[in-house]
């Protein structure tokens, strides 16, 4: 078996697992509520943290110095 064939089989198995999990979540109200809660936590928690970290890294990569706050002026 070549690596390309192995990757194709693995992708097919993963796709089947995702479809099965999605079907189970859609059919079960408790799983649907849990999935919605996890999505909300991800959007309100990890997404802003990731965005803030990306902005800080981009600012540091630009080579500019950090702006001083107005209280220091």
pLDDT attached to residue 42: 84
**The model's pTM:** 0.53
Residue 66 or 53, more confident: 53
pLDDT attached to residue 5: 95
Which DSSP category does 28 fall into? -
Domain boundaries, the chain: 3-64
Residue 25: how many other CB atoms lie within 10 Å: 16
Question: In angstroms, rounded to a whole number, what is the distance separating the alpha carbons of residues 64 and 71?
Answer: 20
Question: In angstroms, rounded to a whole number, what is the distance separating the alpha carbons of residues 36 and 44?
Answer: 12
Question: What are the two backbone dihedrals, phi and then psi, of residue 67, each rounded to the nearest 5 degrees?
Answer: -70, 145
Model pLDDT for residues 3-54, shown as the tens digit of each residue: 999 999 999 999 999 999 999 999 999 999 999 999 999 889 888 898 999 9
Residue 68 or 55, more confident: 55
Please check whether residue 59 is in contact with residue 65, taking contact to mean a CB–CB distance below 8 angstroms: no
């Amino acid at each position: 078996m070549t690596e390309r064939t192995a990757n194709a089989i693995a992708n097919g198995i993963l796709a089947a697992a995702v479809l099965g999990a999605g079907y189970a979540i859609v059919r079960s109200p408790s799983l649907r509520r849990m999935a919605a809660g996890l999505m909300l936590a991800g959007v309100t928690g990890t997404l802003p943290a990731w965005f803030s970290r990306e902005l800080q890294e981009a600012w540091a990569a630009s080579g500019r110095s950090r702006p001083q706050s107005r209280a220091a002026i």
